[in-house]
Structure 1
Amino acid sequence: MSEAALRLSGIEKGYLRGTPGEVIVLRGADLEVAPGEAVALVAPSGAGKSTLLHIAGLLDTPDAGEVVIGGEAMQSRSDRRRTIARRREVGFIYQFHHLLPEFTALENIVLPQLANGVAPKAAGERARALLARVGLAARADHRPAALSGGEQQRVAFCRALANAPRLLLADEPTGNLDPDTSERVFAVLMELVRETGLAALIATHNLDLAARMDRTVRLDHGRVVEAA
């Protein structure tokens, strides 16, 4: 059996800790995501989905518990090592694409590769290959303002995959799109997960999309439970 791409063990997180107004968001949350598996994360707004994703992606630290990515426990690692792991091992997709408006679609995908030490020529070749894979080869030199919402989100997918991460974290990636565009973008996302062997944890309010993933988990009073 292969090593889990992501394992969260006993994750706890609260805000305003030690004060009368303390809010506990996660209470011993446990979760594993295997390579090539797409897991839907569903919960009401404010239940802690984004907090869980940020902790899983090393953007935030838990108050207790352990984050293990590709077999490496991250809590005891230095800030530098966590930053490197986040850059190399994790790809992020958000509801709003957050593309850099002054750069072209191609450049938005090249830049994270350059930050990871990839040579410019190789970075450009990978960026073009990813754009072609999602049907945007002809839009490589367009800036985000010249792209539709669905096209922008597909560029964001490519950017998330630019450094060939083992883990993809998506926070409502189709939540800002109309139904038809949402369907097309979701199909591309799932194809990329299947073909690359990524582990994907996707927070969504769309129960129809969640049902098409490998399994669904939900947050219940700060714990991760399998959805019925």
Structure 2
Amino acid sequence: MSDVALDLGGISKTYNKGLPGEVRVLDAVDLSVGSGEIVALVAPSGAGKSTLLHIAGLLDTPDAGRVRIAGQDMTGEGDAIRTQVRRRDVGFIYQFHHLLPEFTAVENVTLPQLANGVSRGAATARATELLTRVGVGPRAGHRPAALSGGEQQRVAFCRAMANGPRLLLADEPTGNLDPATSETVFGALIDLVRTTEMAALIATHNLDLAARMDRIIHLTDGKLI
């Protein structure tokens, strides 16, 4: 690993704090993910893995602890800085693709680049390149409804990687796909991550897929093992 893309220190999070139903989902979690490293996050439903991903991606704030993205300490930063860093350095992929239905595949991948100040021509060229690399180039002009589930998820991968983030966060990215399609989509994801040298933290229930990553961590009772 050449450098650290994600550094979490002492991350704690409690829901319903001070109430009878208080739940401590994260308890002093420490985690570093280096550039070019793919880490599997394995945990049962409700164990807090989505909360951890949201904190890592600056979508949520911890009760205590430190979040560094590409060396920048985000502790105490306001919404404007957090949004800027998230847009520039973090890509998200979810179990459901969340593509915009009124736009084509290439447009869905182009839009986040436009929001980041990239010219339309350059954004379209990069979107086309990414879609071609994951095998959906011929479908670039189709809207999501005309794409298969696996194609939609590969478009979502490309959208997450469109701005060249330092860190990719994925929450059960193949959980909504059949095994054969899941294998195809996961292969495309790993290939993109490997060739771009970004860091990736991928939450999954699939132990076979997790075993193909560089490292597996388990979230149990709020702690990483």
Deviation at 1:20, TM superposition (A): 2.0
Deviation at 1:223, TM superposition (A): 1.1
- What residue identity is the alignment partner of 1:73? D
**Who is 1:39 aligned against?**
39
**Who is 1:77 aligned against?**
77
**Who is 1:103 aligned against?**
103
TM-score, scaled relative to structure 1: 0.97
CA distance in 1, matches of 2:20, 2:148: 47
**Who is 1:199 aligned against?**
199
Deviation at 1:22, TM superposition (A): 1.3
- What residue identity is the alignment partner of 2:222? G
- What residue identity is the alignment partner of 1:127? A
Deviation at 1:77, TM superposition (A): 1.6
Question: How many residues are paired up?
Answer: 225
- What residue identity is the alignment partner of 1:49? K
Deviation at 1:115, TM superposition (A): 0.7
CA distance in 2, matches of 1:135, 1:22: 46
- Indicate the SS of the match to 2:4: coil
Question: Which stretches of structure 1, 4 residues or more, deviate above 6 A after TM superposition?
Answer: none
- Indicate the SS of the match to 2:52: helix
CA distance in 2, matches of 1:194, 1:107: 25
- What residue identity is the alignment partner of 1:178? D
- Indicate the SS of the match to 2:113: helix
1:214 aligns with 2:182: no
- Indicate the SS of the match to 1:124: helix
What is the aligned-residue RMSD (CA, Å)? 0.8
CA deviation vs aligned residue, 1:14-53 (integer Å, no higher than 9, x gap): 1111222211110001111010000000011000000000
Deviation at 1:190, TM superposition (A): 0.6
- What residue identity is the alignment partner of 2:174? T
Identity of aligned residues (%): 71
- Indicate the SS of the match to 1:5: strand
**Who is 1:186 aligned against?**
186
- What residue identity is the alignment partner of 1:171? D
1:86 aligns with 2:75: no
CA distance in 1, matches of 2:222, 2:29: 7
1:25 aligns with 2:25: yes
**Who is 1:172 aligned against?**
172
Deviation at 1:102, TM superposition (A): 0.6
Q: Which runs of 5+ in 2 are unaligned?
A: none
1:3 aligns with 2:3: yes
CA distance in 2, matches of 1:113, 1:14: 35
1:112-123 superposed matches below 5 A? 112-123=112-123
- What residue identity is the alignment partner of 1:154? R
